[in-house]
Amino acid sequence: MNVARVEIATMEPLHGGAVRRHWRVDARVDGIAQSFVLRANGLTPLGFGLELGEEFVLLRVLADETIPVPPPIAFSDDAALVGSPFHLTRLMRGSADPAAIVAAPANEDLAVALGATLAALHRIRPPRAALAFLGRAPADPAAAARARYAALLERTGEARPIAAWALRWLARHAPEPSPPVLCHGDFRTGNYLADAGRLVAILDWEFAHWGDPASDLAWFCARFWRFGQDRRAAGGIADRAVFLGAYEAAGGHPVDEVRLHYWEVMSALKWLAIALLQRDRFLRGGERNLDLALTGRRAAECEFELLRLMEDDARPA
Amino acid sequence: MRDPPDIDTLLELAAAGGDAELTSRCRAIAARERANGMAPYEALGAELRALPGGGDRAPDLAALTAAIVDGQFDAAPERERLVRFLWRLALQKLRENNPGFERKKI
């Protein structure tokens, strides 16, 4: 963005986003009032995911592909303003508040729009020179995911027999490798903007990677991201069939229920690993934050889901 | 076997102020843990010691985890014994941390 003069009028912290910090910035750009979202690193690092500069490049690629994202404006690696590098995107209308989204009546139109958007994203395949920072696409995305989450769990330094048992299950039930596509990595209710029930933009791309398309579908449908609307399996907003049907109808990869179930188990393992790493930002990183600390106690939900998904009939009365 | 941070740490954080819903969750977890005491975990510990790799002298989740990774539970009947133990462990923790998660039909 080439401008002659930028005057920041206000800069207000925005809530939401467990990994990064956000501010609303109201400014006058060449005398014209404009609003932006400034996104910077969290106070303590999670320890994996894209850097802000990489995420900014990804947003530009996605915008060119007409994936609905907040229009990227600028990136700065100058930590003087907010204590970390940051990028600016244009402020868009709508809310990402999951409680508000799932509190509304079931919204099939929103589920259809999300399914179609995911299908468009999954048409982006490696290699892409502009996305070289994503690394070489794995030949076996499931094996790569198992290795990634095993390594993240190892970092917690805790003995977690249910996670170990899940990794055995995932190794035994591994599907045939699927050609990798661009995956969002955290595609769920809470990470998109909706306005008056309509999709505005997909947010929070720091976990984007080359992977199995079923991983995004399973993550979106995982129970954790229904926010209490458990009967609406598609992100707490609609039936799963609506979302998956829209995905396929928009040219997404054919949905294989066995593969999807596999990635549902992987999703529970992934959330377990992330929840523990979030907790460790408090336990080890020293960030005094009740939300982060309590996230560690959500491990019990993840382990319950892992056991239920692996063998529901084994559950004792 | 309870997951960290321990409840005293959580209550200390909650006492410093902050989100009412999070504070309320902390207090509810504390009430459930105090009502249960350590008895459920002592019973789980006894069950754990009876499993291959469960600990010779004291219950040892690390040794159990290593035994799982080593494939010692891949076949019956050890597999069923392990799964029963894992369920009891998961349910005990879930019922203290978020009992509603178990009760809700899906």
If asked whether residues A30 and A149 sit together in one domain, one would say no
Q: What is the mean pLDDT of chain B?
A: 91
- State which residue of chain B sits closest to A315, comparing Cα positions: B87
CATH of the domain at A145: 3.90.1200.10
Q: Chain A contact for B35, CB < 8 A?
A: no
d(CA B106, CA A93): 33
Considering only CB atoms, A307 lies closest to which of B23, B87, B105, namely B87
Q: Are A44 and A63 in the same domain?
A: yes
Say which CATH number the domain at A77 has. 3.30.200.20
> Given an 8 Å threshold on Cβ–Cβ distance, is A168 in contact with B86?
no
Q: Is residue A153 located within the same domain as residue A290? A: yes
Number of domains making up chain A: 2
Rounded distance, CA A273 to CA A280, Å?
A: 11
B24 touches chain A (CB under 8 A): no
What is the torsion angle, in degrees rounded to the nearest 10, for the CA atoms of residue B6, residue B8, residue B9 and residue B10? 90
- Provide the pairing of β-strand A181-183 with A86-90: unpaired
* Per-residue pLDDT reduced to its tens digit, A244-286: 999 999 999 999 999 999 999 999 999 999 999 999 999 999 8
CA distances in angstroms from A110 to A74, A87, A114, A133, A192, listed in the order given: 29, 28, 6, 31, 11
Which of B25, B88, B101 shows the shortest C-beta gap to A294?
Answer: B25
Is A2 a domain residue?
no
Higher pLDDT, A288 or B86: B86
Residue B53's pLDDT is 83
Q: Which two tokens mark A120?
A: 């468009």
Q: Which of A71, A90, A109 is the last residue of a domain?
A: A90
Residue A235 has pLDDT above 70, yes or no: yes
Nearest CA in chain A to B17: A290
Asked if B91 reaches chain A (Cβ–Cβ under 8 Å), the answer is yes
Final residue in a domain of this structure, among A65, A90, A115: A90
Q: What is the mean pLDDT of residues A141-158?
A: 96
Nearest to A168 among B18, B74, B101 (CB): B74
Q: Could you check whether the bond before residue A316 is cis, i.e. omega within 30 degrees of 0?
A: no
Residues A301 and A175 in one domain: yes
pLDDT in tens, A150-177: 999 999 999 999 999 999 999 999 999 9
Q: Shortest Cα distance from A205 to chain B (angstroms)?
A: 27
Residues A83, A103: one domain?
no
Closest residue of chain A to B18, computed from CA coordinates: A290
The dihedral over CA atoms of A71, A135, A179, A203, expressed in degrees to the nearest 10, equals -20
Query: Does A236 have pLDDT greater than 80?
Result: yes
Instruction: State whether A267 and A142 are in the same domain.
Output: yes
Instruction: Give the model confidence (pLDDT) of A278-307 as tens digits.
Output: 999 999 998 888 999 999 999 999 999 999
Q: Same domain for A124 and A21? A: no
- The partner residue sitting opposite A304, judged by closest CB among B4, B62, B102, is B102
A18-43 pLDDT per residue, tens: 789 999 999 999 999 999 999 999 88
Domain end residue (candidates: A62, A90, A118): A90
Domain of A22 in residue numbering reads as 8-90
A85 and A233: one domain?
no
**Statement to judge: residues A53 and A146 lie in one domain:** no
Q: How close is the nearest chain B Cα to the Cα of A5, in Å?
A: 39
| A258/A240 Cα distance (integer angstroms) | 15
CB burial of residue B55 (10 Å; 0-12, 13-18, 19+): middle
For residue A235, the distance in angstroms to the closest alpha carbon of chain B comes to 13
Please report which confidence band the pLDDT of residue A313 belongs to, taking 50, 70 and 90 as the band edges: very low
The answer to whether residues A59 and A135 belong to one domain is no
E strand residue ranges, A221-315: none
CB nearest to B64's CB, from A161, A231, A289: A161
Q: Mean pLDDT over residues B78-106, rounded? A: 91
Domain membership flag for residue A1: no
- Check CB contact under 8 Å for B89 and A223: no
Supply the Cα-derived Rg of chain A in whole angstroms: 20
Question: Going by C-beta distance under 8 Å and a sequence separation of 6 or more, which residues neighbour residue A154?
Answer: none
ipTM confidence: 0.95
How many CB pairs (< 8 A) connect A and B? 112
Co-location of A86 and A105 in the same domain:
no
In angstroms, the CA A193 to CA A98 distance is 10
